[in-house]
Amino acid sequence: MSRVQQSAKNIFFGYISNIVILVMGFFQRTVFIEVLGRTLLSVNGLYTDVLSMLSLAELGIGTALNYSLYKPVANHDYEKIKSYMQLYKKAYLAIAGIIAVIGLAITPFLPYIIKERSGLTVEELTLYYLIFLFNTVSTYFVAYKYSLVNAEQRNYIQTNITTITKIVTVFAQIIILLVTKNFLLYLLTQAAVELLQKIAVSIYFNKLYPYLRDKNVKKLEKEETDIVVTKTKALMFHKIGDVARLSTDSIIITYFINVDLVGIVGNYTYIITYVSNFVSVIFNSVISGFGNLVATESKEKQYSIFKVYRFFACWMYGFASVGFWLLLTPLVTGLWLDDSWKIGQTILSLILIDFYFKGGRVVLINFKIAAGVFEQDKYLSLIQGGVNLVLSIIGAKYIGLAGVYVGTVVSGVLANLIQPVIVYRDCFSKNVWSYFKDSLKYIVTILGILLVLIPINNLIMAQVNLFTFILMAAIITIIYNLVFFTIFRKTPEFDYLWELFAKKLPFMRKIRK
């Protein structure tokens, strides 16, 4: 099966998965809020971020080994695959132990992080946290096996497993909530379902790749192990910086402002995350395809494909940003909940600015991963993390919630300025100015569309109801995409995308003409 066909299959199942997870997760979150309230919702979100910080122990080993698998998978070198997978298994078992120890060491400090507990006892907070910790640690006993199907560009296998698990988990948790109204049983239900999933997945992969059970496995050559170690060291810096930038906001909000705000902001970021997954699934689905591309094609071919996906990322993330800016608050406070869950347009704007720039980095990061370019910007993430922590803490103390996201935006923009320079220099041997000129072109276009849509939105959404919401969503979709089509329809990037879709939908060629 070709690279494009594998990517298309990954994207198809990725979309099915995201639709299911979005709808069911939305329903689950609604029931959770109605039954247990915003404090436990906030604790749930806080612990998720704390455990994301603990995953720092992974230190990029998975990414480095995934990169190393691309070539032996492409060459069907099963002996080499077995060697890498054995190394991966040993590393992940060690990681599980490290996370368990660090996680237990953090337990006594939970009462100092969550100062306003709204009636929750220290014992309850500790027990909830330990269940989260168990879920995280147990993941590492099977996570390494996914690397092989992903290196084979069969990401849809992991996607389908995730979807089925989510369906079972949500149904079980909703029943538990409605019948018992008990948060502890809610968490234990998730832990039980996910544990059964991990056992089933381990058995499935053993049957799918029987050669991985061979006892006779050669050790990697020293230079091969050294490559993994070198790239892991570089990725360690990326991982530390990413955690400091992406997983600390809820902790800062909890400590300096109020834990309930974590849940309030979480409603917005939940919708942003899961709706944007409809875009990101495309790019996540082609990472392994990028790896194959780097291993088999010329730099010019790599560059042309990179520009196509970069153009598509800016188009789609811009579309999502405009839609979120106009419709997210009416959705959360008008159609779903009430005004007590509102965060304000300034805070939403900061979140969406970071969202757009993060989307702009998606293709850069994915291409860096596929090409194994980790060392060149290893200190950048550390600088980003430091900037985010300093600015977010100062901002939280003197500005409030908006100050937390000022740090997030500033630290993110640093990467948007530096990473393109590294990718263009080390991957393509090209001047980076064309990248920044295109960036400016896309941003100006998106802002122009938003300015056109704001007065239309003010008129239509003066009365928020399901009809006006759907009408405004349709108007945004038509105007945004029509403008982008008109401005960029003659570019090589658009031509490539159009031909890609036209192969599946021949009538599109007639529309273009």
Q: pLDDT tens, 12-51?
A: 776 777 778 778 888 888 888 888 888 888 888 888 777 7
Domain-wise residue ranges, the chain: 1-220, 266-500
The pLDDT confidence band at residue 75, using thresholds 50, 70 and 90, is confident
Q: What is the pLDDT of residues 127-174, one digit of tens each?
A: 988 998 898 888 888 877 777 777 777 777 877 888 888 889 989 999
Cα Rg of the chain (Å, integer): 23
Higher pLDDT, 212 or 181: 181
How confident is the model at residue 497, as a pLDDT? 78
B/e letters for 279-296, b = 16+ CB within 10 Å, e = fewer, are bbbbbbbbbbbbbbbbee
The pLDDT confidence band at residue 58, using thresholds 50, 70 and 90, is very low
CA-nearest of 193, 204, 87 to 146 is 204
How confident is the model at residue 295, as a pLDDT? 57
How confident is the model at residue 352, as a pLDDT? 95
Contact 310, 85 (CB under 8 A): no
According to DSSP, residue 426 is labeled I
How confident is the model at residue 289, as a pLDDT? 55
Q: What is the pLDDT of residues 401-420, one digit of tens each?
A: 999 999 999 998 998 898 89
**Averaged confidence pLDDT in the chain:** 82
CA distance 487 to 449: 12
Global pTM value? 0.76
Contact 302, 428 (CB under 8 A): yes
**pLDDT at residue 505 greater than cutoff 60:** no
How confident is the model at residue 4, as a pLDDT? 57
Whose tokens are 């168990």? That residue is 134
According to DSSP, residue 217 is labeled -
CA distance 440 to 456: 25
Q: What is the pLDDT of residues 430-487, one digit of tens each?
A: 889 999 999 999 999 999 999 999 999 999 999 999 999 999 999 999 999 999 999 9
Q: What is the pLDDT of residues 183-230, one digit of tens each?
A: 899 999 989 998 998 889 888 888 888 887 888 888 878 777 777 777
DSSP 237-258: HHHHHHHHHHSSHHHHHHHHT-
**pLDDT at residue 291 greater than cutoff 60:** no
How confident is the model at residue 287, as a pLDDT? 47
According to DSSP, residue 298 is labeled -
Which residues lie closer than 8 Å to 513 by C-beta, 6 or more apart?
A: none
How much is the average pLDDT of 98-125?
A: 80
Handedness of CA 115, 117, 118, 123 (dihedral sign): negative
| Count of C-beta atoms within a 10 Å radius of residue 152 | 19
